[in-house]
Amino acid sequence: MAQKINHIPKRLDSLVRERYASAIAEGALLFSESVVSSQREQGVDFEVRYVPALAKRPSSKPSEKQARGDFVNPFLPFDPRLHVARIGSTHQLLLNKYCVAPNHLLITTSEFKQQGEPLTMLDFAAVLDTVSNLSQEHIVFYNSGEESGASQPHKHLQLLPMPDTMSSPPSVSIWLRSTCKVGQVCSSSDLPFANFGCRLESAAALSPTDLHTSYSAALQRLVAAYGDSVSYNMVLTPLALVLFPRLRGSWQGVSVNSLGMAGLVLCKSTKEMDLVKGSGALGILSQVGFPPESASQPIHSPKC
């Protein structure tokens, strides 16, 4: 994705690795080696990852955290040991304390904004400024609403390096099979849960305006179908931006956030991992997403 603003150090890859190594050494983040397996569904390899560290992560929803008198916002102030860089005057780049893979990053607003608020042009500018200075492709995602898998009330996006085994997350790869053209909001009937996405122009041509326009168009279509209070996940890759409305946050104990909807399902126990393998990744995701719309043709208005 193309660089549009210049507030992040050019040597961001090195800086992320250095901060990650020091944070591990200082005990500032929780990470344990995970067990990854794949299962092929609809011709695509879905990733099922057993991450023991997830069992240590607080599981309450953002509103429940805020309601508690002892709630402390971990992003304001942030732990300096997890700080990677400042992104202009509006955002911070942090390491995720509860990382599911090395170099798992967060983009947080410098001032408090509510998680679940629509993403803004400045949010997408911060995303572009970050990914354009990283050499590896990343999956960018946003958990919006109580049933989205969000755990913190302070607005933040997450970035995870794209696994070496894939060029796009599994659900996005299936979505990209559609005949959706740039400029259309489309739903793919190949996914067994509701989705609204936009195919993107070439990465070199992307701008914050382009991304915000695509996101707003897809969100408008989602809200028209499910109401403005519905939870959803956003998954952004160099090729597509896709929204998944959420019916529930978990099924049979398996919590699903944006990564899960993208096809990278996280499990905090071997029992959960066995359940995902038995039910299939798409089977789990169809339980936490809404049923697909009966009409899955390109929608010409609004436009991306």
User: What residues are annotated to the active site?
Assistant: 156
Q: Which of 267, 261, 263, 264 is nearest to 289 (CA)?
A: 261
**Can you tell me the distance from the alpha carbon of 219 to that of 217, in angstroms, rounded to the nearest whole number?**
5
Question: Which residue, 126, 125, 108, is CA-closest to 117?
Answer: 108
**How many whole angstroms separate alpha carbon 216 and alpha carbon 227?**
14
For every residue of 111-159, which 3-state class applies, written as one string?
A: CCCEECECCCHHHHHHHHHHHCCCCCCEEEEEEECCCCCCCCCECEEEE
**Please, how many CA atoms are within 13 Å of residue 190, restricted to the half-sphere of its CB?**
17
Give residues with Cβ within 8 angstroms of 224, minimum separation 6: none
- CA–centroid distance for 44 within its chain: 19
Q: Pull the structure tokens for residue 230.
A: 């519905």
Q: Which helix (H) or strand (E) holds 160?
A: strand 156-161
What is the Cα 296 distance to its own chain's centre?
23
